[in-house]
């Protein structure tokens, strides 16, 4: 399976949260926007400040993020992606989710390959379904 993964998928894996993506092991090729690095590391930094995570735990979580990033095919947020994200979309989405959806759409168009949207974000999952993607990670 080829999957586009957003940061919600990576963060549940890194943080060991319940409901982590069951299909993760079945993904043969994972694609993501380069934004996932920023999103994941900002989340960890917020947890450091708000939840007072110990340095050792923070270091382990950051290391896990970098390991996951190493297996992803990262797509830079290019001008065509940002332009696509700024256009009307089939459902209501915030900026970062619109960039994720636009990245997945353009990657699918350019590669000609079928890609599954892997997300735990309900709004992104709904928009992906409305855009013709099979979605895993949300009901």
> Any idea what the Cα angle at residue 121 is, between residues 118 and 124, rounded to 5°?
75
Residue 16 burial class via C-beta count within 10 angstroms: exposed 0-12, middle 13-18, buried 19 and up: exposed
**What's the half-sphere exposure (Cβ side, CA atoms, 13 Å) at 124?**
29
Average pLDDT over residues 36-53: 93
Would you list the DSSP string of 40-53?
Answer: HHHHHHHHHHHS--
Stated pTM of the model: 0.93
Residue 51's pLDDT is 85
Residue 52's pLDDT is 85
- pLDDT of residue 137 exceeding 90: yes
Mean pLDDT of the chain: 96
Sorted by where each begins, the domain ranges of the chain are 2-136
Average pLDDT over residues 68-86: 97
- Select the highest-mean-pLDDT range: 22-26, 33-37, 49-53: 33-37
Residue 7's pLDDT is 97
Average pLDDT over residues 31-51: 95
CB 128 within 8 A of CB 120: no
Q: How many CB atoms lie within 10 A of CB 55?
A: 8
- pLDDT of residue 117 exceeding 80: yes
> What does the alpha-carbon distance between residue 88 and residue 58 come to, in Å, rounded to a whole number?
38
User: Which SS3 state, helix, strand or coil, does residue 107 take?
Assistant: helix
Average pLDDT over residues 61-69: 96
Q: Which CATH superfamily is domain 2-136 in?
A: 5'-nuclease (3.40.50.1010)
pLDDT confidence band for 46 (50 / 70 / 90): very high
CB 62 within 8 A of CB 56: no
């Amino acid at each position: 399976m080829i999957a586009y993964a957003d940061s919600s998928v990576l963060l549940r894996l890194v943080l060991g949260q319940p409901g982590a993506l069951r299909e993760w092991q079945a993904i043969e090729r994972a694609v993501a926007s380069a934004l996932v690095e920023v999103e994941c590391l900002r989340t960890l930094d917020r947890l450091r400040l708000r939840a007072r995570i110990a340095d050792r735990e923070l270091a382990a979580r950051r290391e896990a993020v970098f390991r996951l990033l190493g297996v992803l095919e990262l797509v830079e947020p290019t001008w065509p992606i940002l332009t696509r994200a700024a256009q009307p979309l089939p459902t209501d989405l915030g900026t970062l989710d619109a960039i994720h959806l636009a990245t997945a759409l353009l990657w699918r168009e350019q590669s000609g390959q079928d890609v599954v949207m892997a997300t735990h974000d309900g709004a992104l999952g709904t928009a992906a379904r409305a855009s013709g993607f099979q979605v895993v990670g949300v009901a």
